[in-house]
Amino acid sequence: MVTFSTNATQFMSLALKLARKGQYGVQSNPMVGCVITKNDEIIAQGYHQKFGAAHAESNALAEINHQANDATLYVTLEPCSHQGKTPPCAQTIIDSGAKEVIIAMLDPNPLVGGKGVAMLEDAGIVVKIGLLESEAKYLNRAFIKKMTTGLPFVTCKIAMSLDGKTAMSSGESQWITGEAARLDVQKLRANHQAIMTGSGTVLADNPSMTVRLNDVNVKPLRVVVDGKNQITDTTLNIFSTDAETQVFNMSNSKLNNAGKLVLSDILSQLAAQDINSVLLEAGPGLIGAMVDAGLVNEFIIYTAPILMGSDANSMVDLVIKKMDDKLSLNIQDIRMIGEDIKITAALK
């Protein structure tokens, strides 16, 4: 088992921090950071900033004119070995004269998948793998999910009261959470390539489903699941020019034996459009159907310090009649956002 020094761990931690800076620009590419050291001193650093632009390794090497003789590179993802929109990073590292490359995780992309490591080792470069691997995998969990399963990673966002209610029975729901939580939702939207909702929510609330942040210019695809072909009014906010919208209905999606849309087929179609991450913002019906189909990977639940009572709708329509059938969640993070509680939890 490879062991790493305290300094090495700190350098990789910085590389992961750099990688996160690409969250709004890399789109379907992974977030990657790179730190270059010599004699345990940082001499360069970089990250993948934008889809189609230079990768992290190239950006870091550019800071030292691609001269890394006897240096060590800390990279959060295995350097690529193939020619894509940019040259292969493994060859760029070889040409720089680096002596060692420490990698957090291997690339799940079958075009790479160990080939980058093999190129480096064949060139006489020492390669070590696995430093802060779990943190690196969590950072790029959406990229990994699509590469390994062919489906995007789905995060379900819910705003609810302490008693688990999301709207009054009349449909009234604004606002359950406070301003700080609503701003956090905008950042959450900006971190996803698509925002999915149902036709019922569109007709009841007429939402825009866009990112409204002054310093961020991203436009996730708006996805509407319309199993009853109800969406015909093109003046609805969901069809504004602020972002593109795709409606999935009975004419363009697979149907099951009951005549309902196959939700996994919708996700497959999105994956075919190079979408890694989907934010589900919907009513309890669609959320329940997605959970029941095993298509939700993560919940982000904003819980307000209010009670809405029995004449209100629950967060999810899910028929569970026995305790043995309950769904267990793994809580990954709990924090305060203003006066509200933000819970991040994954399905076990």
**pLDDT 10s digits, 137-165:** 999 999 999 999 999 999 999 999 999 89
Task: Confirm or deny that 201 is annotated as ligand binding.
Answer: yes
Domains and CATH numbers, the chain: 6-140 (3.40.140.10), 150-347 (3.40.430.10)
| Tens-digit pLDDT profile for residues 6-16 | 999 999 999 99
Residue 306 is assigned to a ligand binding site: no
Question: Whole-angstrom Cα distance, residue 258 to residue 234?
Answer: 28
Question: What residues act catalytically?
Answer: 57
Report the pLDDT value the prediction gives residue 180, as an integer from 0 to 100: 96
Interval 116-137 mean pLDDT: 96
Is 212 labeled as ligand-binding? yes
Q: In the predicted model, what is the mean pLDDT of residues 37-54?
A: 94
Residue partners of 231: CB distance under 8 A and separation at least 6: 199, 202, 203, 224, 238, 247, 249
Q: What is the pLDDT of residue 111?
A: 78
Query: Would you state the structure tokens that stand for residue 78, as one six-digit string?
Result: 């295995």
User: What mean pLDDT comes out for the span 218-238?
Assistant: 95
222 is in an annotated binding site: no
Per-residue pLDDT, 83: 65
Is 124 annotated in a binding site? The answer is no
Across 54-71, average pLDDT: 95
Q: Which pLDDT value is given to residue 98? A: 96
> What pLDDT is attached to residue 157?
97
Percent of the chain with pLDDT over 90: 82
pLDDT at 49 over 70: yes
Higher-scoring residue by pLDDT: 189, 164: 189
Residue-level pLDDT at 44 = 97
Ligand-binding site membership of 169 (annotated): no
pLDDT at position 276 = 97
Q: What is the mean pLDDT of residues 183-190?
A: 96
Does 189 show up as a binding residue in the annotation?
yes
pLDDT value of position 246: 97
Encoded amino acid at 62, one letter: A
Compute the average pLDDT of residues 165-192. Answer: 89
141 is in an annotated binding site: no
Span 35-58, mean pLDDT?
Answer: 95
pLDDT band at residue 52 under the 50/70/90 scheme: confident
The answer to whether 34 is a known ligand-binding residue is no
Chain segment 299-348, per-residue pLDDT in tens: 999 999 999 998 888 888 888 888 888 899 999 999 999 999 999 999 88
Residue 298 in this model has a pLDDT that exceeds 90: yes
Average pLDDT, stretch 263-286? Answer: 96
